[in-house]
């Protein structure tokens, strides 16, 4: 990783999509605990307001904003709301994702692939493009795209993953929707990183590792707070920090470079 110069100071203005539960909520909480103002993007008002109330109860500056990543009008309205309240955005965490049943390619109905891409891929692009004008007004804009090692083409193309912490049985799991959508997230991360590099906007793909949420039947080897460590680190990178990277972190918070 590139070394840093100055660190952006709190309070920063952050937007986390899919922040009413799971990984997104944990990232939102951790960003708010650093003293930042965090917009909790949620498609359901009741769930979004419930998360907002819990975090505000803990003394954090968390603000629900209605945002369905598959609905461009709702994304535009959310961006307008943030613009009216702050005039800029410093941190965007594209996190909202859906998880369809884990099926092999030959067993996956096309509708499931389409709906997964609508949220996990097109949703990231929609929110990024809608908020870029606000991010460009920040003096330290950071974009974090939540990805997964299951999107790694390098790992998928390896025939021997024995000894890997991520794939202890030595095999890459054959799950179409999740893998292919996260491979696309990795690709779009690099495209945005390259486009925005000269503007100093840092764009990175981060895996929360494996944490218990509704999306994975509440399995996992890290806690939600541990899963939020690397996304938060990349969201608060100092100027001159890395861009176009794919990372995660271990239980102890040690940074892990993931293969593309």
Of the pair 12, 43, the CB lying nearest ligand NAP is at 43
Decide if residue 24 touches ligand NAP (CB under 6 A): yes
The side-by-side arrangement of strands in the sheet containing 246-249 is 62-66, 37-42, 13-17, 91-94, 142-146, 202-206, 246-249, 255-257
What the block records as the tokens of 207 is 């895996």
Q: Which is nearer to ligand NAP, 140 or 205 (CB)?
A: 205
Applying CB under 6 A, which part among 31-39, 54-62, 76-84, 90-98 lies near ligand NAP? 90-98
Q: Mask of contacts with ligand NAP, 197-216, x by CB under 6 A? A: ----------xx-xx-xxxx
Indicate the residue among 139 and 174 with the shorter CB distance to ligand NAP. 174
Q: What span, in angstroms and rounded, lies between the C-alpha atoms of 114 and 120? A: 10
Within 8 A by CB and 6+ apart from 177, the residues are 99, 100, 103, 108, 112, 113, 116
**Phi, psi dihedrals of residue 54, rounded to the nearest 5°:** -60, -45
Using CB under 6 A as the binding rule, whether residue 64 contacts ligand NAP is answered as: no
The beta-strand segments (E) located in the chain are 13-17, 37-42, 62-66, 91-94, 142-146, 202-206, 246-249, 255-257
Residue 43 or 233 with smaller CB distance to ligand NAP: 43
**Pattern 113-152, ligand NAP, x by CB under 6 A:** ------x---x----------------------x-x----
Site for ligand NAP in 212-241 (CB under 6 A): 213-216, 220
3-state secondary structure labels for all residues of 61-103: CEEEEECCCCCHHHHHHHHHHHHHHHCCCCEEEECCCCCCCCC
For ligand NAP, which stretch binds (CB under 6 A), given 58-66, 89-97, 102-110, 190-198? 89-97
Q: Which is nearer to ligand NAP, 8 or 48 (CB)?
A: 48
Question: Residue numbers of the site for ligand NAP (CB under 6 A)?
Answer: 17-18, 20-24, 43-44, 47, 67-70, 95-98, 119, 123, 146, 148, 207-208, 210-211, 213-216, 220
């Amino acid at each position: 990783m590139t070394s840093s110069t100055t660190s952006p100071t709190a309070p920063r203005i952050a937007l986390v999509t899919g922040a009413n539960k799971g990984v997104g909520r944990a990232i939102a909480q951790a960003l708010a605990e650093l003293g930042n103002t965090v917009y909790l993007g949620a498609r359901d008002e009741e769930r979004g307001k419930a998360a907002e109330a819990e975090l505000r109860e803990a003394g954090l500056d968390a603000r629900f904003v209605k945002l369905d990543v598959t609905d461009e009008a709702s994304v535009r309205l959310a961006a307008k709301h943030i613009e009216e309240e702050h005039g800029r955005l410093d941190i965007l965490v594209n996190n909202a994702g859906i998880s369809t049943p884990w099926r092999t390619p030959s067993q996956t109905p096309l509708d499931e692939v389409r709906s997964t891409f609508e949220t996990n891929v097109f949703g990231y692009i929609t929110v990024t493009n809608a908020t870029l004008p606000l991010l460009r007004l920040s003096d330290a804009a950071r974009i974090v795209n939540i990805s997964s090692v299951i999107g790694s083409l390098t790992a998928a193309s390896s025939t021997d993953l024995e000894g890997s912490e991520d794939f202890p049985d030595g095999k890459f799991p054959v799950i179409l929707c999740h893998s292919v959508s996260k491979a696309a997230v990795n690709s779009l991360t690099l495209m945005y990183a390259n486009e925005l590099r000269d503007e100093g906007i840092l764009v990175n793909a981060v895996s929360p590792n494996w944490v218990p949420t509704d999306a994975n039947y509440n399995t996992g080897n890290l806690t939600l707070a541990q899963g939020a460590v690397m996304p938060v680190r990349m969201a608060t990178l100092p100027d001159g920090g890395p861009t176009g990277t794919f990372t995660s972190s271990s239980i102890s918070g040690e940074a892990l470079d993931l293969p593309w």
